């Protein structure tokens, strides 16, 4: 879908940032998690930014699904981690939800990893929103 059509359809630009950490390039999981935790913490500091942690095979498609689902207004998706399997990204998602899931602005309602699939590469991401926190339609939204 072209950018002009996307903006006309959704009323906002498509904004998916590239992976911060790529395990396919030899980075260790522990090193990647340390970097990802620091990045999420810096993005949500101040407490007013609603966020959601997830995994997917296709970040552009998944961002479009989140934006078209009603509920929370999402400004951007930051891809935190790229790995060859969803087992790895599911583990990263669980680790990040364990670290940040107790914050009021976190819209995850489970421990993570439910959207694991067979596609490769696979990605772990954080959605960053704006406006008031809305939980109704977004809570429990799973998929890859």
Looking at residue 10, its pLDDT comes to 52
Distances (CA, A) of 72 to 94, 132, 142: 22, 8, 15
What is d(CA 54, CA 144) in angstroms, rounded to the nearest whole number?
8
Q: What is the Cα–Cα distance from 39 to 87, expressed in whole angstroms?
A: 22
Are the CB atoms for 100 and 40 separated by under 8 Å? yes
What's residue 140's pLDDT?
41
The pLDDT assigned to 142 comes to 40
Tens of pLDDT, residue by residue, the chain (144 residues): 455 554 555 555 556 677 788 888 888 999 999 999 999 999 888 778 899 999 999 898 888 888 887 667 788 899 999 999 889 999 999 999 999 989 888 988 888 777 777 778 899 999 998 766 666 444 444 444
Strand runs (DSSP E) across the chain, as ranges? 16-17, 21-22, 51-56, 73-83, 122-130
The Cα 26–Cα 48 span in angstroms is: 35
Listed by start position, the domains of the chain span 12-130
Q: What pTM was estimated for this model as a whole? A: 0.80
What is the predicted pLDDT for the residue at 138? Answer: 41
Which two tokens mark 72?
Answer: 């929370």
Centre a 10 Å sphere on the Cβ of residue 115 and count the other Cβ atoms it contains: 19
Say how far apart CA 61 and CA 76 lie, in whole Å: 13
């Amino acid at each position: 879908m072209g950018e002009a059509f996307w903006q006309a359809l959704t009323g906002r630009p498509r904004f998916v940032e590239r992976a911060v950490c790529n395990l396919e390039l030899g980075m260790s999981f522990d090193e990647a998690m340390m970097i990802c935790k620091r990045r999420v913490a810096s993005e949500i500091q101040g407490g007013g930014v609603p966020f959601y942690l997830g995994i997917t095979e296709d970040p552009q498609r998944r961002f479009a699904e989140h934006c078209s689902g009603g509920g929370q207004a999402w400004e951007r998706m930051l891809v935190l981690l790229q790995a060859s399997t969803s087992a790895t990204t599911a583990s990263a998602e669980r680790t990040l939800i364990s670290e940040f899931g107790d914050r009021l602005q976190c819209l995850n309602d489970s421990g993570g990893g439910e959207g694991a699939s067979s596609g490769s590469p696979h990605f772990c991401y954080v959605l960053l929103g704006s406006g008031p926190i809305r939980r109704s339609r977004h809570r429990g939204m799973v998929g890859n």
